[in-house]
Structure 1
Amino acid sequence: MRAAAHQLASRIKQIKASEPGRVVVLSPFHYVSQYANIYVVDEVRRVLGLESMAVVSGVPRDIYGNDAAIIPSLRILYTYDEKGRESRNSLGLRVIRALRRDGVAVVFSDVPPYTLAKYPMETVGVTIGGRSARVHNGVFRIGTPVDALLLPFYLSFETGRFGVRMFEPIALADAAAPQRLANDIEIARRENYPHWLYAGHPSVYHFAASR
């Protein structure tokens, strides 16, 4: 996993060197294990020399223990907060502030719309697998004002070793960005389906409401 993190950090450094000031949304897809994804992004943070890094999470606060104690260097921005400690309506602003402050933040951009049914979010129409589908629009709405690049990736696990598959960066302000993300989601699903955390779900991206 450290090797995967170093590859991701190296790519981010390349982007920063070629486009100074460009902010990056690092986007793990839902493969292998969320524990593994969090470990990798925390290691990316360390390699980049950041004291902390923001991660948008749909997992309820402290469900696996005290988040602040377990992952002290990651600032979790919750989309689901029953205790109401943070306003979900300000989530986008907090992510933008984190991007401007740190230059990097983490958003799981492949999350299927059905998983946030309690808090419906705006979606955008795309094509996945030759069928009409919808993906969340949040990452595009957040990334466009700051001209962010999305760097999607997924982890693999074969013969006892972790690997990483990075996709090409996507300019979130580009009109074609949603379909480019959808294409990456489709490729990842085809290449790594057995390790997809949503494998077997009957709808995933294909039965989401328009909003």
Structure 2
Amino acid sequence: MKTTMNLWALSLSVLAVACSGSEKAQPPQGSESSSEGQVPAVNVSNLDAGDAASNAAAPAKAAPEEATKKEEKAAAESKDATKPATAIAAAAPAPVAPEPPKAEVAPPSTFARCAVCHDASKGGEDKLGPNLYGVFGMKAAKHRPGFNYSAALKNSGLVWNEANLDKWLTKPMEMVPGTTMSFPGLKDPAKRQELIDYLKSLK
């Protein structure tokens, strides 16, 4: 009986120790609760880090948009800057190439008879007869105002076209009686035409 009582007392002691051990093990739970009290600080730091990351991401996202706007603005300004130049280029007349100097036509051999009394060079002087440069198409006695034409030629009303020149070179004194041109005329129509073509080229 005594042994049984001892065993019962020992069992109660073990239970008491076990209970006291479990109670001593509770403080860690308190530490856990205290650490749980610190959780808001960790979460706040996490939130702060997230906010910082989002704030850092916002400018990074805005930077390409600003660069794109700047590029578009620069392109528009460049396009506008080229408009006046294009308008000026379109309005400017195309350069006109200078005409090559006109080759002088050599006088036909028949003109040697005319050259006794007439010069045919541009700006040449009058001789016994007037200078013949530019005479084709002009009114008779009007081509060289300073020359002393005969009254008969002044009053003839002729214009030096092909038909009148052909008649004049055939027999000038018959065509205009009273003219002071003593040239007897050319009977060959081909030679007359050579002279007429030469006079036409003197422009």
TM range (shorter): under 0.3
Q: Which structure would you say has the larger Rg? A: 2
Q: For CA contacts below 8 A with separation 6 or more, give which structure has more relative contact order.
A: 1
More helix by share: 2
Give the TM-score taking structure 1 as reference length. 0.21
Give the TM-score taking structure 2 as reference length. 0.22
More strand by share: 1
